[in-house]
Structure 1
Amino acid sequence: MSFGQGGPSWGPGDSQTPDWAALADISAARNRRRKWLFIGGGVVATAVVGALVAAVVVAAGNGSDASDKNATQLPSPQALPSESSAPAPSFTTKAPPPPPDPKDFISSSKKDKAPLNAGTLFPGAKLTVANRSYAKHATHHTTGCASVTQGALGSILVNNGCRQVIRATYSKAGVAATVGVAVFDTEAQAQKAMKQSAGGIASLSGAGVPTFCRNGSICRRTANSYGRYAYFTVAGFLSGKNVTNASADVFTAGDDVAEFTFRQIVARGQAQASAAAAAPAS
């Protein structure tokens, strides 16, 4: 079969019957051409889209597009401020000095410079220990250490370098106690005097308290030291009655007066240490 300009021409046989085999071949050839044209067009379209995307990427990468010139530019990493330019905190490796030891100020006359007298050592009109109150009576201050002692204590104080003795008397319910504080230049002298102590401090009467613990009456005595201070007590009955092991009120009074004296000496050291710590460094 062949095609002319006017349409298909039919093959041999009945002039009204088409050549179906020839028509089938023509239709198959036509379908193959359409299929290849469709596939080719898809490839071309894909290629065009890919080219456009590549062009956009290249333009964004090299910044050649004139419309990008007015866009906000992010700073480069080199233009960003460096963290190292900020001031770093500094820390000293030098440890602060330890606080002053209060005992250092009461262990030597070279550092113990606070005022010292009966008023500073025994302030107020009474003392209170564990809810027990004692009225304060006479006070006395002397540089003649041996003159206010009984027995061998006077020579012991003098031989160890005693500078002064300060005394005070307290009483409660018919019992009185006198405390005498002997002051030395060093802690070693005070300790030695306390360990060697014999005899005792003389009782101090006056200001409402009669003479007690004299003329052979038996009284209770104690000896202690702290820092450059040695302190001694004598306690007994105002009536002159002898003290025995059963005289609990006399023992308590003597211990309370000694405890109060110890606290006053400690407070003296603490006050001077605090003042030294608060003073500006030179």
Structure 2
Amino acid sequence: MSFGQGGPYGPGGGAPQPPTPDWNALADDTAARGRRRTWLLAGGGLLATGAVAAIVAIAVTSGDNKGSGSNASASRLPTPQDLPSGSSTPEPTFSNVAPPAPPKPLDIISSAKRDKAPLSAGTLFPEKKAVTQGRGYTKAATSTASNCASVAQGGLAPALSGNGCRKLFRATYSRNGVAVTVGVAVFDTKAAAEKAKKQAEGGVAALTGGGVNFCHGPVCRRSTNAIGRYAYFTISGYTSGKSVTTSDTKALGAGRDLADYAFRRILARGNTQASAAASATD
């Protein structure tokens, strides 16, 4: 059987022949794939560059947070492991024991065991004038009696000796025709002085001297008081020999002035000794 020309396998018959490629189409496709690769490479480069920049920025920021300067690690905060375990400087110590309170002047002059300052007519009555409320009284004479009852009148004598009076110091002052003798009796304790004060009847005898003579016969005014281990007394009257009446204010006022002076002189002993004790403990 003869198929003639143009059989199923192409002209001439025999084995089939591959189709001829479209070279123009292939060239266009190759060019298109080249352009796409070029764009992908360029985009990848940009992404890589951005990633590096981001890494650098993070590193710089992290370094700034750790500290400034050329050596950031030198300024970082220490960890507990970095701190020293001990110190060569000794720690201060504090005591809960309060320092002793300074002695009180009245406590000192209330007991012979604490009241150790020199004691005499000169230390009790040192000034030539006793001044109270602006009124000055001139000192005329002083005396010291170891036998307290010997310079006391009336019921004061047994009150002094019965309570253990050690000494009795007297001083006489005068002003404008009025004279006052102030006497200070010394005991071992405050209780003894207070007891003598309560038992006292009569008064201290007037001390004559220095041109002053009074209260030897006429009526005079008396007072009695105490502070600490000391009892103190006054007797006041006129140098003219005139008696003091119940309505008299001049002699009474002079007696009060000298009683106040004696009080302040006794208390001054306590103040002086208390200040010395406080200074010794500083």
Structure 1 residues 58 and 118, CA, compared in 2 at 3 Å: closer, same or farther? Answer: closer
Partner of 1:133 in structure 2? 136
Of 212, 215, 222, the residue aligned with 1:213 is 215
Distance, in Å, in 2 between the alignment partners of 1:157 and 1:267 is 23
User: Alignment partner of 1:114: what SS?
Assistant: coil
The superposition leaves residues 37-80 of structure 1 with CA deviations (integer Å, 9 ceiling, x where unpaired) of 6576334312233146548968999xxxxxxxx96852762585
Structure 1 residues 180 and 4, CA, compared in 2 at 3 Å: closer, same or farther? Answer: closer
The answer to whether 1:158 aligns with 2:157 is: no
The superposition leaves residues 171-227 of structure 1 with CA deviations (integer Å, 9 ceiling, x where unpaired) of 1000011011111111111100001110111111111102x1122x22111000011
The superposition leaves residues 210-255 of structure 1 with CA deviations (integer Å, 9 ceiling, x where unpaired) of 2x1122x221110000111100100111112121243222111101
**What TM-score results when the alignment is normalised by the length of structure 1?**
0.76
Distance, in Å, in 2 between the alignment partners of 1:71 and 1:157 is 93
Which amino acid counterpart does residue 273 of structure 1 have in structure 2?
A: A
Q: Which runs of 5+ in 2 are unaligned?
A: 1-21, 63-69
Distance, in Å, in 2 between the alignment partners of 1:248 and 1:35 is 135
Distance, in Å, in 2 between the alignment partners of 1:139 and 1:58 is 101
The superposition leaves residues 118-150 of structure 1 with CA deviations (integer Å, 9 ceiling, x where unpaired) of 100000211101111000011110111111111
Shift of 1:256: 0.8
**What TM-score results when the alignment is normalised by the length of structure 2?**
0.76
Aligned residues: 247
Structure 1 residues 41 and 160, CA, compared in 2 at 3 Å: closer, same or farther? Answer: same
The superposition leaves residues 54-111 of structure 1 with CA deviations (integer Å, 9 ceiling, x where unpaired) of 48968999xxxxxxxx968527625855597465544322211100121222111122
Distance, in Å, in 1 between the alignment partners of 2:44 and 2:167 is 121
The answer to whether 1:142 aligns with 2:162 is: no
Partner of 2:104 in structure 1? 101
Distance, in Å, in 2 between the alignment partners of 1:273 and 1:60 is 72
After TM superposition, the structure 1 = structure 2 runs for residues 1-282 of structure 1, keeping only pairs within 5 Å, are 38=39, 41-51=42-52, 53-54=54-55, 74=74, 77-78=78-79, 81=83, 85=87, 88-210=91-213, 212-215=214-217, 217-279=218-280
Percentage identity across paired residues of the two chains: 47
Which amino acid counterpart does residue 170 of structure 1 have in structure 2?
A: Y
Q: Which runs of 5+ in 1 are unaligned?
A: 6-25, 62-69
Cα RMSD (Å) of the superposition?
3.4
User: Alignment partner of 2:192: what SS?
Assistant: helix
